[in-house]
Each structure stands twice: as structure tokens, then as C-alpha cells.
Structure 1
Amino acid sequence: MKKDQAFNPGRKFDQVRRGAREVFFRDGYAGSSVDDIASASRVSKATLYSYFPEKSLIFQDVLSNEMDQISARAPIQIDTAMPLAEALALMARQIAGWLVSQPVVLLHRASIAEAFRFPDLARRYHALLQTLLHDTVREHLDRWVAMNQLHIDDTSLAAAQLVRLSGAVVHEPALLAGATEPDESTIHRIGDGAARVFLAAHGAERSEASLAAPG
């Protein structure tokens, strides 16, 4: 649903949205029926249709609202005064934890599964990831490069690599049905490992040593 396409909200609108969210995230778009959604929402089909004339509009509204909720809080929050190694480790842990959090996992599954049916939603989800993760990481990398703490030629590519490193091992398994969210110790281990690998590749001391090494 386009953001400027407004339905007339009634007193049971949020109730319908919650019920639809439960059904869509449990059964997927194709596996959900209007009857299922009305039952989960505890409303009649007539009431449901008074808000949404067709199932596709309910799905678009649910996913759009979910993206709004997720984007309301930045997943990466770093104190600019933190030492580089500590800040990188914290950033990687925050990325890993966010990627496997239940709201993000549910939204990721639904967006990717229905990318052909709802390409605009898939593109919006990709843009959301770009803004919340990649662009934020790149801003920090640019700052550290300017301070000569990191040596990076392409901070956009490096930001994408750090996001991938941070989600390694935990993100894809989390998308499987029945998967449980990794515990905090696992998130710390993955995030800290990603930060060490990244720092080894781009840290100023390593870069200077490589330049000084005989050919």
C-alpha cells in the first residue's frame, strides 16, 4: 500500500491489523485467507472489508506498518568518543542482534517470499536495510578514515562487507521456520569476530605495515 493511500480507520482497525499480522507472518501470503484474518482479528468479514477491500491491501498495510515500526529506532548507536576497536565490536554486535531479532526476521521472510508479487514492498525493505545499516556504518567508517584510524579506499563497499560479516552464521539460520533467536553470548562472539576480521583488513597499523613491507 502506498503511504499516501489512506483507509478510513475505525475503532477496530488496529485489531484487524494485529490479526492480519499474526496470520501473514505465520502462514505467508498465499497460505492466508480472508476468513483466517477475520477469525484472528475477531471481526466479521464485512468489518474486515470495510477497511480493506482485498487481501493484497491488507498485506501491504501490515508490511508497511511493520517497516515503520522497525525504522523508528536506529539499530546502530555508537558513542563517537569510543575507541575504534571497542566501537567496531559494539557496532557488529548491534548489527548481528538486530538482524536476528524477531520483528526483523518476520519482515525479512515476508518481504523476500513475496518479492515478485509485491516488488515495491521488497524495494522498500531493501532501502530500509540500506538506510538503517549500510548508510549508518558508512558514516562511521568515513569518520574513522578521516581521523586516519582506518585505511579504506571504498567505504561503501567496506560498510556492506562489515554488515555481511556481522550477520554471518546467525542471520540465514534465523530465517528458517522454527529457528530460535541466538543468545547474547553467540551474538557477542559473532560480532566480536567480525570486528577483528574487519580491523585486521582495514586498521591503520596493518595498512601501514603492509605499505612498509618489502616487495
Structure 2
Amino acid sequence: MLIDAVLNRSERKKTEILTAARGVFLREGYAAAGMEVVARMAGVSTATLYAYFPSKAKLFEIVVHDAVGRMAEPVRESVQATGDARARLTSLALAYATFMSQPATRAMFRMVASERRRFETVADHVLRAAHQDLGGAAIKLIRDLVETGELTVDQPAWAGGQLLGMLDHATLVLGLAAGDEAQPARPLGEISADAVETFLTRYGNPKPSPGEEGVSF
């Protein structure tokens, strides 16, 4: 019991440090961020901080890995939504649009891009994670809907990229061009619904009208 309590306390402290470090890195950038500032924000001594993370570079790497996984979780969970193709695709589209509209998401992408020369492996991880977590969620959902007969798609990866791509300009690209806090003029729900309607026009299989099911000639 005592060992479990110590381990739980250690994990909580690690989480608190990562949360503080993410805020400092996003606000100050890697070069300007100081370990002393991170320690102060996390409420620990500098010695304790270094006991958990031996260098600022290692802390940065872990912060990025941890943040990418946590921030994309709502998009992954959206695949579990129920309903018809329109409802499930809209759930995914809205989760993705919301994720890409968050200032923290944009700041993370911006920070990783600016530090690519210093942390090429970290930048590559972010790209792979984005492909696997975000694109993978879209691909999984599209494959599910193909199996139910609600979509006709030959290349789920291409179709998933098209759906998410329709959302990128109004969300992520807007933020990168106009600032992390910039938000679309239209509600995200409308933007997501329009993207889904366009997608269904291309790939959707309309349900038979009442009385048409089972009719043969």
C-alpha cells in the first residue's frame, strides 16, 4: 500500500511538471523557456525537476509526445459515436474541427515546426501521430461505414484526407495565418456539417425510399 501511494504521488508530480512545462514551452518557446521557470510553475524545486527529467531537451520531447496523445483523444473517441453515416461523420468532423481550432493545438504545431532543425525526431513523431491518430480515426470510421453499405469508397485513406482537408483551411490554417486565438467567422458545427454533406454527395449511398426496399424487377 505504501509503495502504491508513493508511486501514485510520483506520477501525479510528473503530470504536474509536464502540464507546467507545456504551458511554459508554448508561451516562451523552447529556447527562451527556463527549467527554473518550469520548476516554479510546477511547484517543485529545480533539483526535483531534474530528478524527473535530466535535461530541458528530454523534457521538451516528453512534453510534445504527451501533449499530442492527450490533445487528439477527443478525435479518436468520436469514432465511437452512434447513428447513421451523417451523424457519425459529423461527430468526427466536429471533433477534428474543434481540435484544430484550439489555440494550444496551433501553438504546438507552430512550436514543433520552429524547432524542427533541433528536434527532427520529435517533429517526425508529431507528423506520424497526426497521421495515425487523426487520419487513422477518419479511415476507421469510413471503413466501418463501407461495411454497413452507407458509403462506397475505394481508397479510405484518400477519402479521409479529403474530409479532413475540407476542415483544415477554416481551422488550423486560419490559426497559423491569423494567430493561435483566431476563430472562424462561422460556427464549427456549420463548417463540419457542410464538409460532411459534400463528402456524402461524393461517397454516400442514399437509403432506399419507403416502399423501394425489396422491390425487384
TM-score, with normalisation over the residues of structure 2?
0.73
Aligned to 2:128: 127
Distance in 1 between residues matched to 2:49 and 2:24, nearest whole Å: 14
User: Structure 2: which 5+ residue stretches go unaligned?
Assistant: 1-9, 207-217
The structure with more helix, counted as a fraction of residues: 2
Shift, 1:178, TM fit: 5.0
Distance in 2 between residues matched to 1:144 and 1:59, nearest whole Å: 39
Q: Identity of aligned pairs, percent?
A: 24
Aligned to 1:6: none
Shift, 1:199, TM fit: 1.5
Aligned length: 195
Aligned 1:66-105 pairs, distance under 5 A: 66-70=67-71, 72-73=73-74, 74-80=76-82, 82-105=83-106
Contact 1:78 1:90 survives alignment (8 Å): no
Amino acid at match of 1:179: E
Relative distance call for 1:154 and 1:44 in structure 2 (3 A) is same
TM-score, with normalisation over the residues of structure 1?
0.74
Contact 2:29 2:111 survives alignment (8 Å): yes
- SS in structure 2 opposite 1:24? helix
Contact 2:151 2:203 survives alignment (8 Å): yes
Structure 1 window deviating more from structure 2 (88-97 vs 156-165): it is: 88-97
Relative distance call for 1:146 and 1:30 in structure 2 (3 A) is same
Contact 1:144 1:150 survives alignment (8 Å): yes
Aligned to 1:174: 175
Aligned to 1:164: 165
Distance in 2 between residues matched to 1:22 and 1:152, nearest whole Å: 41
Distance in 2 between residues matched to 1:86 and 1:11, nearest whole Å: 37
Contact 1:75 1:95 survives alignment (8 Å): no
- SS in structure 1 opposite 2:78? coil
CA deviations 1:81-101 (Å, max 9, x no partner) are x22233323322222112223
Aligned to 2:53: 52
Aligned to 1:4: none
Amino acid at match of 1:77: V
Distance in 2 between residues matched to 1:97 and 1:148, nearest whole Å: 28
Aligned to 2:215: none
Distance in 2 between residues matched to 1:15 and 1:149, nearest whole Å: 45
